[in-house]
Amino acid sequence: MPEPAAINVTSDGTAVVIAVEGGLDVSTGNALIDAATAAVATGPSHLDIDLRGLESFTDEGARALVTCRTLGSDLPGGLHYRTSRGPGREALLAAYRNLEPEGFAD
């Protein structure tokens, strides 16, 4: 069973920080995307996704991190991920593991 999750949105100067705590499953991933969409609409300098409080994740939940990257790509400072060793770092690696490198063809 996934860990209970929380999405906490705060400001850090001109940046918006979204912290994900507990588990990152598909429903938490959707809540993260909603929070990132709302944050980007406020016009911050950059968006930080803080994964240091993550305790577990599913592959479906981790895919939300790629969507957040797209949402933050037009901000002056882009998107930053905050991670440490453990589930947060593993979720980030899992999110990007299956992406094809752009510009390369078989």
pLDDT in tens, 66-81: 999 999 999 999 999 9
Higher-scoring residue by pLDDT: 47, 1: 47
pLDDT in tens, 24-47: 999 999 999 999 999 999 999 999
**What domains sit in the chain, N to C, each tagged with a CATH number?**
5-97 (3.30.750.24)
Q: Give the count of beta carbons closer than 10 Å to the beta carbon of residue 4.
A: 10
- Residue 17 binned pLDDT confidence (cut-offs 50, 70, 90): very high
Give the list of residues 6+ apart from residue 6 with CB closer than 8 angstroms, or none.
19, 20, 21, 22
pLDDT averaged over every residue in the chain: 89
Given a cut of 60, whether residue 20 has pLDDT beyond it is yes
